[in-house]
Amino acid sequence: MKDIDLDCCYESNIESYGYDGEGVARLDGKVVFLPFALKDELVRYNLTSSHSTFLNGMVCEVLRKSPLRIQPPCKYFGRCGGCTYQHTTYRNELQIKKTLLADQLRKVNFESKIEVVESPKEYGYRNKIRMFVGKEGLCLRERASHKLCKVDKCLLVSEKINRAIEIIDKFILMQNLTDCFSEVVIREENDHLAVIFYKKQGKNKINYQGVYLILNDFTGIFECENGVIVHKMGNDFLQSDEHGLDCKFRPNSFHQVNKYLVETLYHFVAENIVGNTIINCYSGAGVLSGFIASKNKRVTGIELGLSEHQDAEKLKEENNLFSCLTNIHGDCGEILPKLIGADSIIVDPPRSGMDKKVVETLNDKNCRRLIYISCNSATFVRDVARLCNYKLVSVTLFDMFSRTGEYEVVGIFDKI
Ligand SMILES: C[S@@+](CC[C@H](N)C(=O)[O-])C[C@H]1O[C@@H](n2cnc3c(N)ncnc32)[C@H](O)[C@@H]1O
């Protein structure tokens, strides 16, 4: 193989896509990953790094454009690490995601059709944003880097959150507070906002009155220092009335971010349940458990996070689900082995997937159906291979995070 020159410019056709949606080309037998290049394009590029089996590069010119290339609507696209697919049509993004998932599933011998459920909104669907505080104010992270990228707006979040970004950014800059905070989280539910200011250790007391008055009384202001969240002003809960339930969330409790698709996801899960007894592992703030319990099923939820568990208990109380819903606070690896079987078990673990103990317990458990909701296809595929006493019967891709490289996978399994 010829020496590869990192200072040189190369030209290649894009043959396929890598796992992060980058274009894949070949140079002297090596694979080259080229972010934001589309299949069948001819591109000119520089190499940015060389590894034993692959190269990374950056496109400097698209010599032959794909008809599926579009103008990205966001001025930060390419630099900001949030979005992956703004340079192509939403149809093509879904096709790429489906192809990448199918490639991964082939490794565990799943060859059947994958159904895709698109997001009703390509942009403006997110109900939460985590921003970093840099010298210039509110920022997001740059792509594949810890460097900060100053942004004044994010197209993935609602207009209300964008207005809050503008107000909070001004507050931090005008009060010279850039050195006091590391992060700011903004969440929205039903037009109500919660803002958590992550204060650096040892900084002076901060007066939030000014920013609270501009954000108005539909907002709750919280401060987090040393991992402890303290309510400062306004509403102390976020409220919503989704799936016919009265829900209250603490500002740091997990909640699904795409409010336009979550109802479809939960209905899909409920429709695929068999029998009347359900265990819901990694149950978060209990919305899915409550939704299923309200359909005359007996549900046991298991959740490790204390604030999520407390929210789940509140949801049970406010919606009078005492007779059909039990929420257990603890680790699925510890709790699940102690429970007798159920007709259906739902698992919705974090990105790291299920630990071995949970998989082993599931393999031994008396259960007819397993429904696995995953936000990381790599750990999903790993766990499919380990779930040896189950047959994967269907896979559906829910595009909960449109325009980004992420999506949700729901696998339906039957016990062999
Ligand atoms: C992806 S969220 C799912 C939440 C819920 N199913 C929903 O739709 O809102 C994963 C949840 O698992 C919880 N969790 C993480 N590790 C856990 C463990 N070992 N045992 C139980 N819960 C865990 C997290 O606190 C989080 O609430």
Cβ within 8 Å of residue 335, ≥6 positions away: 302, 328
- Residue 182: is its pLDDT beyond 80? yes
Distance separating alpha carbons of residues 178 and 106, to the nearest angstrom: 48
Q: Are strands 238-240 and 228-234 parallel, antiparallel or unpaired?
A: unpaired
> Does ligand 1 lie within 6 Å of residue 372's CB atom?
no
For the domain 94-121+257-415, what is the CATH code?
3.40.50.150
* Helix 356-364, helix 377-386: angle, nearest 10: 40
Domain 128-239 fold = OB fold (Dihydrolipoamide Acetyltransferase, E2P) (2.40.50)
Matching fold, domains 9-69 and 128-239: yes
Question: Which residue has the least CA distance to atom 7 on ligand 1?
Answer: 284
**Centroid of ligand 1 to alpha carbon of 304 (angstroms):** 7
Instruction: Convert the pLDDT of each residue in 235-277 to its tens digit.
Output: 999 999 888 999 999 999 999 999 999 999 999 999 999 999 9
Compute, in angstroms, the gap from residue 367 CA to the centroid of ligand 1: 21
For 9-69, CATH gives: 2.40.50.140
Q: How far apart are CA 187 and CA 239, in angstroms?
A: 11
Task: Write down the H helix ranges in 294-376.
Answer: 306-318, 332-335, 356-364
pLDDT digit string, tens, across residues 280-337: 999 999 999 999 999 999 999 999 999 999 999 999 999 999 999 999 999 999 999 9
The encoded tokens of residue 404 equal: 């980004």
Q: For residue 321, which amino acid is it?
A: L
Phi, psi of 178 (to 5 degrees): -60, -25
- Alpha carbon nearest to ligand 1 atom 13, residue: 282
Decide if pLDDT at 1 tops 50: no
- H-type helices in 192-344, by residue range? 209-215, 262-272, 287-293, 306-318, 332-335
- Where would I find the beta strands (DSSP E) of 190-303? 192-199, 219-225, 228-234, 238-240, 247-249, 277-281, 298-303
Q: What is the pLDDT of residues 89-133, one digit of tens each?
A: 999 999 999 999 999 999 999 999 999 999 999 999 999 999 999
Nearest Cα to 114, choosing from 126, 123, 106?
A: 106
Are the C-beta atoms of residues 259 and 221 closer than 8 Å to each other?
no
The verdict on the CB of residue 358 being under 6 Å from ligand 1 is no
Residue spans of the domains in the chain: they are 9-69, 94-121+257-415, 128-239
Measured distance CA(343)–CA(136) in Å, rounded:
54
Helix (H, G, I), strand (E, B) or coil at 389: coil
**Residue 311 beta carbon below 6 angstroms from any ligand 1 atom:** no
CA of 402 to the centre of ligand 1 (A): 22
Do 11 and 43 meet the contact criterion of CB atoms below 8 Å apart?
yes
Between the CA of residue 30 and those of 46, 53, 54, 55, 150, what are the distances in Å? 15, 6, 6, 7, 35
Residue 331 Cβ < 6 Å to ligand 1: yes
